[in-house]
Amino acid sequence: MPLVRIYETSVADDKKHLNGLSAVSLIIAAYLMIVIILKNTFGLSSWANVVTLVCLLVLLALPLLIARRAQRDSMEKTVPHDYSPLISSPKATTSGNQSSEGDSRIDSGLSENLNLLQAMKNLSFWLLFLAMICGMGSGLSTINNIRQIGESLRYSSVEINSLVSLWSIWNFLGRFGAGYASDALLHKKGWPRPLLMAATLGTMTIGHLIIASGFQGNLYVGSVIVGVCYGSQWSLMPTITSELFGVRHMGTIFNTISVASPIGSYIFSVKLIGYIYDKTASGEGNTCYGSHCFRLSFIIMASVAFFGFLVAIVLFFRTKTLYRQILVKRLHRR
């Protein structure tokens, strides 16, 4: 914390720098994916490990250069110290103030900057919470058990290590891609974000079924689908939260909804996957080998993800008018 400093900034002016950080993040993700695959497939000598480490350190240093450039550019501009583009209303004439108040009501969601208790009285809060239990919970349960699933399907330790390592890459790509896609679909097509959330839950259903199928290479395909969809939900949920309930109490509401992830993970990992595995295991050391070890668990989780898809569809129809108002107002501002 002693290293943290607050700098006056403008979101519009920083867009090019934020795009630069996004590009660096994608480059690092691609680089790590290539290195992980090469290392786990072919192995790397000691000198090759040193070279890859140096290259990684250089890539990790690039955001510092972008931040330094952004700081230099910001010194040429001044922004009022007490201004926040999220919660401050622009100053204007009497008629302009009335318009700003209307904008605030629309941009803040169903009501103007709801607190946690007010948000919890709204059905949309619980629809979003339930959808996240189904999506985040089943996704986290997958990564929690992916090593044991690989062992039951007789994947080699190298293959399992690759799957575990690459999960973070799929997770990142889901978070990054869903954020970009939801913005594009909302502003260009007028599609509300809950619709994309429903799409990720529907796709996650397919991923769980692929893992349950047990065909050769199923864990590669299934982990990519579930990993990307799991990351997508972590990108969509906070944005939807801010649009439905406002930003003044977003931190409290967002973290309350985030509790859905560990709750779902406990239910699906312990009470479902762990319970069924213990009932199925009969080998030495209480182990199980074969596709049947986790088939029933992932069929149930696929059903749960599909139920989350239906919940997200209900949320989509419930917030459709709100998103239309938000889109019209933002287009009017342009």
Measured distance CA(233)–CA(297) in Å, rounded: 22
Q: How far is CA 175 from CA 25, 128, 283, 322, in A?
A: 12, 17, 40, 24
- Compute the radius of gyration of the chain from its Cα atoms: 23
Express each pLDDT in 200-221 by its tens digit. Answer: 999 999 999 999 998 888 898 9
The tokens describing 5, both together, are 């400093």
User: Based on the number of CB atoms within 10 Å of its own CB, is 4 exposed (0-12), middle (13-18) or buried (19 or more)?
Assistant: exposed
User: Based on the number of CB atoms within 10 Å of its own CB, is 250 exposed (0-12), middle (13-18) or buried (19 or more)?
Assistant: buried
Per-residue pLDDT of the chain (334 residues; tens, 9 = 90+): 788 777 666 666 677 888 888 899 999 999 998 888 888 777 788 898 899 999 999 999 999 998 888 878 777 665 555 555 555 544 443 444 444 444 444 444 444 688 899 999 999 999 999 999 999 999 999 999 999 999 888 888 888 888 888 888 999 999 999 988 998 888 888 889 999 999 999 999 999 999 999 888 889 899 999 999 999 999 999 999 998 998 889 999 999 999 999 999 999 999 999 889 888 887 666 788 888 889 999 999 999 999 999 999 999 999 988 888 877 776 666 5
Measured distance CA(244)–CA(78) in Å, rounded: 31
Express each pLDDT in 27-60 by its tens digit. Answer: 999 999 888 888 877 778 889 889 999 999 999 9
